[in-house]
Amino acid sequence: MLSVMVSVFWSQGVAAASLPDFTELVEENSSAVVNIATTSAPKSGSQRFKGFDGTPFDQEQFEQLPEFFQDFFRGPQSPFGGGPGKSQPRRSMGSGFIVSRDGYVLTNNHVVEGADEIIVRLNDRRELPAKLVGTDPRSDMAVLKIEDGDDLPVVRIGRSRDLKVGEWVFAIGSPFGFDYTVTAGIVSALGRSLPTENYVPFIQTDVAINPGNSGGPLFNLDGDVIGINSQIYTRSGGFMGVSFAIPIDDAMNVFRQIRDNGTVARGWLGVLIQEVNRDLAESFGLKRPRGALVAEVMEGSPAQQAGLQSGDIVLAYDG
């Protein structure tokens, strides 16, 4: 009996010893992770207010009403949709990280989209205004610049192309506004494409990501940033074990173009492609499903000039 208990405790100790310890990595990197708070002005109140007959009022017409009626239509008891004065500024929150000592910050486009004011809060509780340098909605990337940034802490940039499925990774962010929350997991898959996004070969992980984590860094066990947490797959609105991050190699390419040029330029082939499944492979005489089927070639595109045709299957490129 004693020998069995010793064996159990020994195996548990070995298992615990084999798990990564994130404490030093978190201490080293938290100072360069930021919370991003945005404020957006309310939309114009015109067409929001409805009179007794259902006819919309604009702002000027609303202000011509007696004050008693204005107060009534603005109030929560109003059955007419509320007046123009009822609108409140929209506020949102996300995460980001500093990539240069003079204050460049990377985050997601959807974190700052439509923002009129951006405030970056650092680990030492400083709150600094930031300006939007540029965005790339296709990759869901945004570049900010902390105003009066000087000798700020920065993350160390890694190489996402060196990632392997199964390796440990961890995230630091502000889910639901809980600043500097750390979650960990493994790389579940590489090169994922999503139905709504074909420009990014996402890193899939099982790291817990929730609203507020967007734009925050994904680290490897060397403490290098290898991704930007961007999306989750969910049926509940919360984390369900499937998270997606933008590879840092792609993100840094976008960052450099926005910083240097203000815009992002991409190559264009001019084709629509689809995956080759078993049925398609059999119909084209392939021994196994592989390659990409050219479903359509756009008129005047580089692909058309190169001789690609609908129905071609691309098996290799660049030699």
Bin 267: left if φ > 0, else alpha if -120 < ψ < 50, else beta.
beta
Lookup: tokens for 88: 């409140």
| Cβ contact 204:188 at 8 Å | yes
Task: Examine the residue annotation and report whether 116 is marked as an active-site residue of this protein.
Answer: no
Question: What 8-state DSSP symbol labels residue 312?
Answer: -
Lookup: tokens for 210: 């929730």
Query: Among all chains, which residue has been given the structure tokens 């199964």?
Result: 166
- Of 92, 160, 174, 214, the active-site residue reads 214
- Of 40, 58, 110, 249, the active-site residue reads 110
- Of 140, 179, 250, 312, the active-site residue reads 140
Task: Examine the residue annotation and report whether 236 is marked as an active-site residue of this protein.
Answer: no
User: Strand pairing of 217-220 and 197-205?
Assistant: unpaired
Q: Which residues contact 12 (CB under 8 A, 6 or more apart)?
A: none
Judged by DSSP in three states, 302 sits in: helix
Evaluated on CA atoms 119, 243, 259, 252, the torsion sign reads positive
User: CA-CA distances (angstroms) from residue 42 to 45, 112, 304?
Assistant: 8, 15, 47
CA neighbor of 151 nearest in space, from 103, 104, 99, 101:
101
Lookup: tokens for 141: 């990337």
Judged by DSSP in three states, 140 sits in: coil
User: CA-CA distances (angstroms) from residue 252 to 177, 249, 263?
Assistant: 26, 5, 13
Task: Examine the residue annotation and report whether 140 is marked as an active-site residue of this protein.
Answer: yes
Active site residues: 110, 140, 214
